[in-house]
Structure 1
Amino acid sequence: MEQFQALTLFADSVDTVQAARKMVRSALEDWALGALVDDVALCTSELVGNAVHHAIPDDRVAVPGAPRRIDVTLTKWPKWLFLGVTDQNSSPPMFSLGETSSPALVGDLSEAVLMDSGRGLMIVQLLADSLWWSLEEAGGKTVFCRFDLVGRAPDSRT
Structure 2
Amino acid sequence: MGAAPAVTADPDVVTCTLTPRYESVGTARDFTRSSLQRWGLGELFDDVALVASELVTNALRHALRLRAAEAAAHLPQQARQGADGHLPIRISLVHRAPQVVCAVSDPSSAGPVTREADYIAESGRGLHLVDSFSRSWGWHPLAGAGKVVWALFEAHEAPAQGGFGMQDHSGRHRRP
Does the TM-score normalized on the shorter chain lie above 0.5? Answer: yes
Deviation of 1:38 (Å)? 0.8
Kept in 1: contact 2:117–2:124 (CA 8 A): no
Between stretches 1-10 and 127-136, larger displacement belongs to 1-10
- Aligned with 2:79: secondary structure? coil
Q: Tell me what 2:13 maps to.
A: 4
Instruction: Name the CA distance, whole Å, in 1 between partners of 2:17 and 2:99.
Output: 22
Instruction: Name the CA distance, whole Å, in 2 between partners of 1:2 and 1:148.
Output: 19
Between stretches 62-71 and 142-151, larger displacement belongs to 62-71
Instruction: Name the CA distance, whole Å, in 2 between partners of 1:18 and 1:35.
Output: 19
Kept in 2: contact 1:68–1:88 (CA 8 A): yes
Q: Tell me what 1:44 maps to.
A: 52
- Report whether the alignment pairs 1:91 with 2:83: no
Deviation of 1:43 (Å)? 0.6
Change (3 A) 1:149 1:53: same
User: In structure 2, what residue type is equivalent to 1:82?
Assistant: V
If asked which structure has higher relative contact order (CA below 8 Å, sep 6+), I would say 1
Q: Tell me what 1:35 maps to.
A: 43
Deviation of 1:148 (Å)? 1.6
Instruction: Name the CA distance, whole Å, in 2 between partners of 1:147 and 1:46.
Output: 15
Instruction: Name the CA distance, whole Å, in 1 between partners of 2:132 and 2:98.
Output: 19
> How many percent identity over aligned positions?
32
Change (3 A) 1:9 1:151: closer
User: Out of 150, 153, 161, which is 1:147 matched to?
Assistant: 153
Deviation beyond 6 Å, 4+ runs, structure 1:
none
- Report whether the alignment pairs 1:79 with 2:95: no
**TM-score in terms of structure 2 length:** 0.68
**TM-score in terms of structure 1 length:** 0.75
Instruction: Name the CA distance, whole Å, in 2 between partners of 1:148 and 1:18.
Output: 23
User: In structure 1, what residue type is equivalent to 2:87?
Assistant: R
User: In structure 1, what residue type is equivalent to 2:17?
Assistant: T
Report Cα offsets for 1:21-42 as digits up to 9, x if no partner: 1010001011111110011011
Number of residues paired by the alignment?
Answer: 137
Instruction: Name the CA distance, whole Å, in 1 between partners of 2:117 and 2:51.
Output: 20
Q: Any unmatched runs of 5+ in structure 1?
A: 102-110, 154-158
Deviation of 1:121 (Å)? 1.1
